[in-house]
Structure formats: structure tokens, C-alpha cells
């Protein structure tokens, strides 16, 4: 499909982006505007608490969307998942289930629902293939969150089967990039490590403490690339089978930290706190279906993405302190 055809797909549609004011949402909105999308509605929290049915109904009446991109989630790193498992389960389950149901009733043309790599079983064979999604229980520290999000896949499939409702379900790997959440209480691993290294260097601290032993592996996808994949799926993909979104590159937490240490210029030592959990042992996605179904491949190299993220935090967040 040509660039002009991509533009025409969006120009005549009313689009609602839940979570559009957040990290990934900011890239979705940017790319929608680049595609000359004519009508974009972002329901801001707390004006719209999408855990509540009345907020969903009010959003639908206000936006009157043809297409919904559902990014909104209550999400955090290992620490936040351990501290608030019930909250993560309930909030994400209720948001997804009620949004899909009420959107079907309202006559929405299509929903793009975002799941999570946390939905995969703890010991999924690497690389993670979509066919393995149900072959075991997720890693314990984020299972409530992962299972709540995975229910949108079940709902997507059952509503398509019974009602012919068009919804799709994407499984993005861990995202990173400028504008990420750098709050050490709730952030994921990349922004947490970047912040620790940069602030320790500024303060002259000689060591940083990192959770686990560094052996787990992770795959990361630059947020702008993820946004492109989501919009390509919205344009081209109309099946209720799960599809991975990732970069295809696996790195251990230890190697990740060494790379961040080099790029930030941190000159102290690293202390691994092995009393803290590692999380899932390995994560690497098979990304062939995204390429096959809607032509998505990640373009940003990992080191370049990290440089951009570090520069953004150093130049915008640290200068404000």
C-alpha cells in the first residue's frame, strides 16, 4: 500500500486513542498526524477513568469513533507488579472487557487492542511464537497483569466468531524511548538503569544497585517503531489471532547495563542485589507474522535508540531538577 493510500485510510475515520496522552500514545498521535488523520480523540485520565463503564459510554458518545486504538493500561515494572497485583489485574481486565463489549454495542468499526509480552508462559521456548501463548502460566511477578491483558484476545476471538466484530490483538515486547516513564518506583528496566547511571554520575556516587543477577534476557522495541507497527496493523490486518511486535534482538540484563554504563559515562561500580527477583528468564519474540501480515519490521538499532533515550532524559528531565 502506498503512502497516499495509508493517508486515505485515516482521513475519513474518527479515531479514538485510549492512553493517547501516555508514552506510546504520544508516538501514535504523532504518526497519525503524519498520516493526515482527520479526527483524533484522546480521552484524558482522570476525566475518563476507563475502568468505569460510565466513562467508556461517555467516551463513545463524545468521540463517536470508527476505530479505537486501545493503549490505556495500569502498568509498571517488577516492583510495581509485586506491590499491586490485584490492582493491575482488576484495572486492566475491566478496561479491556468493558471497552470491547461497549464498542461492539455502539457499532465501532474496529478495535486495535494491545496485549503484553508478560502474557507468555514463564518458560516459553525461545523465540516466543504466538502458538505457544497458552502453553503454561506466566512468570509469577507479572502474571495478574499479563493474564488480564490476554483476556482481550479471548474476547476478540469470541466476539468475532459470534458477532463478526472486527478487533485485532497485538503483543508488543518491552518498549523504550524518549518520553518513557523514569519514575524509579514504577518504571521498566531501561529508564530505571539510565536514570540510576546518570544521577549517580552527577552526584559523584561510586556505585549503583541493580535488581537480580543480570542473567535474564530481554528484547526491546523502540516506541516510535512500535507505533508504526500498530498503525500498519490497523490499516492492513483484520484477524483475531495474536501477533507479536518486536525487534527480534535479545540481550541479557548484564549486557544491557554495560551498554548503558558506556553510553551514559557512569564510572562507578555495579552491585547486583540477588535478593530481588530476576523476572522471566528469557524473552525474545518470533516476529515473522507481523512482517507477513502487515509488513512490519523494526528499523531503529538498539544502540541508536538508547542514545536517543539517554539524550532525552539528560536534556529534558535532569535539566529541570
Q: What cell was used for 100? A: 470491547
Q: Is the pLDDT of residue 317 over 90?
A: no
CA torsion angle 57 63 68 71 (round to 10): -80
Place of cell 532524559: 313
Determine phi and psi for 150, rounding to 5 degrees: -70, -25
Average pLDDT of the chain is 95
- What does the pLDDT read at residue 3? 52
Q: Minimal CA–CA distance to 119: which of 96, 79, 152?
A: 152
Could you tell me if residue 272 is inside a domain?
A: no
Could you tell me if residue 231 is inside a domain?
A: yes
Contact call for residues 243 and 289 (beta carbons, < 8 A)? yes
- What does the pLDDT read at residue 321? 56
Q: Is the pLDDT of residue 112 over 60?
A: yes
What pLDDT digit, counting tens, does each position of 276-290 carry?
Answer: 999 888 999 999 999
Cα gap 243→292, rounded to integer Å: 10
Contact call for residues 76 and 65 (beta carbons, < 8 A)? no
Answer left, alpha or beta for residue 100, where phi above 0 means left and psi between -120 and 50 means alpha: alpha
Per DSSP, the residues of 237-263 read ----S-EEE----EEEHHHHHHHHHHH
Place of cell 500498530: 230
Cα gap 266→269, rounded to integer Å: 8
Helices 85-106 + 143-163 axis angle, to 10: 20
Tell me the residue range of the domain where 235 lies. 3-177+220-250+282-300
Burial of residue 292 (number of CB atoms within 10 Å: 0-12, 13-18, 19+): exposed
Answer left, alpha or beta for residue 125, where phi above 0 means left and psi between -120 and 50 means alpha: beta
Q: Terminus-to-terminus CA distance in the chain, angstroms? A: 46
Distance (Å) of CA 146 to CA 122, 141, 162: 11, 10, 25
- What does the pLDDT read at residue 78? 82
- What does the pLDDT read at residue 76? 84
What pLDDT digit, counting tens, does each position of 83-105 carry?
Answer: 999 999 999 999 999 999 999 99
Q: Is the pLDDT of residue 2 over 80?
A: no
Could you tell me if residue 317 is inside a domain?
A: no
Could you tell me if residue 261 is inside a domain?
A: no
Determine phi and psi for 267, rounding to 5 degrees: -110, 5
β-strands 217-222, 250-252: how paired? antiparallel
Could you tell me if residue 34 is inside a domain?
A: yes
Contact call for residues 193 and 256 (beta carbons, < 8 A)? yes
Could you tell me if residue 260 is inside a domain?
A: no
E strands present in the chain: 14-18, 39-41, 67-70, 110-114, 167-172, 174-176, 207-211, 217-222, 243-245, 250-252, 269-273
Could you tell me if residue 89 is inside a domain?
A: yes
Answer left, alpha or beta for residue 279, where phi above 0 means left and psi between -120 and 50 means alpha: left
- What does the pLDDT read at residue 320? 63
What confidence category does residue 80 fall into, taking pLDDT thresholds of 50, 70 and 90? confident
Q: Is the pLDDT of residue 4 over 80?
A: no
The larger pLDDT score, comparing residue 129 to residue 81, is at 129
Rounded to an integer, the average pLDDT of 188-214 is 94
What pLDDT digit, counting tens, does each position of 137-178 carry?
Answer: 999 999 999 999 999 999 999 999 999 999 999 999 999 999
Number of domains observed in the structure of the chain? 1
Cα gap 253→37, rounded to integer Å: 39
Whether 120 is a known active-site residue: answer no
Could you tell me if residue 201 is inside a domain?
A: no
Catalytic residue among 145, 159, 222, 313: 145
pTM of the model: 0.94
Among 47-51, 72-76, 127-131, 315-319, the minimum mean pLDDT is found in 315-319
Place of cell 511477578: 141
Q: Domain holding 125: CATH number?
A: 3.40.50.720
Amino acid at each position: 500500500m502506498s503512502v497516499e493510500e495509508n493517508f486515505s485510510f485515516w482521513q475519513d475515520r474518527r479515531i479514538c486513542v485510549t492512553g493517547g496522552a501516555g508514552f506510546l500514545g504520544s508516538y501514535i498521535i504523532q504518526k497519525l498526524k503524519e498520516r493526515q488523520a482527520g479526527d483524533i480523540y484522546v480521552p484524558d485520565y482522570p476525566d475518563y477513568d476507563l475502568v468505569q463503564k460510565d466513562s467508556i459510554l461517555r467516551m463513545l458518545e463524545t468521540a463517536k469513533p470508527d476505530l479505537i486504538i486501545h493503549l490505556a493500561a495500569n502498568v509498571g515494572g517488577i516492583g510495581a507488579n509485586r506491590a499491586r497485583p490485584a490492582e493491575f489485574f482488576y484495572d486492566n481486565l475491566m478496561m479491556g472487557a468493558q471497552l470491547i463489549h461497549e464498542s461492539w454495542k455502539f457499532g465501532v468499526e474496529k478495535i486495535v487492542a494491545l496485549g503484553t509480552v508478560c502474557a507468555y508462559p514463564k518458560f516459553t521456548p525461545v523465540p516466543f511464537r504466538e502458538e505457544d501463548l497458552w502453553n503454561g502460566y506466566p512468570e509469577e511477578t507479572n502474571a495478574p497483569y499479563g493474564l488480564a491483558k490476554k483476556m482481550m484476545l479471548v474476547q476478540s476471538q469470541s466476539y468475532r466468531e459470534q458477532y463478526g466484530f472486527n478487533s485485532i490483538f497485538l503483543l508488543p515486547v518491552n518498549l523504550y524511548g524518549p518520553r518513557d516513564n523514569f519514575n524509579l518506583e514504577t518504571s521498566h528496566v531501561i529508564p530505571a538503569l539510565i536514570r540510576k547511571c546518570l544521577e549517580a554520575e552527577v552526584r559523584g556516587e561510586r556505585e549503583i544497585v541493580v535488581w537480580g543477577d543480570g542473567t535474564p534476557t530481554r528484547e526491546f522495541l523502540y516506541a516510535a517503531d512500535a507505533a508504526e507497527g500498530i498503525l500498519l496493523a490497523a490499516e492492513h490486518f483484520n484477524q483475531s489471532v495474536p501477533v507479536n511486535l518486536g525487534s527480534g534482538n535479545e540481550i541479557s540484563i548484564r549486557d544491557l547495563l554495560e551498554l548503558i554504563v558506556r553510553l551514559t559515562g557512569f564510572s562507578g561500580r555495579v552491585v547486583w542485589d540477588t535478593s530481588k527477583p530476576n523476572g522471566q528468564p528469557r524473552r525474545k519474540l518470533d516476529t515473522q507474522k507481523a512482517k507477513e501480515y502487515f509488513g512490519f519490521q523494526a528499523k531503529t538499532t538498539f544502540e541508536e535508540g538508547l542514545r536517543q533515550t539517554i539524550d532525552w532524559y539528560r536534556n529534558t528531565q535532569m535539566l529541570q531538577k
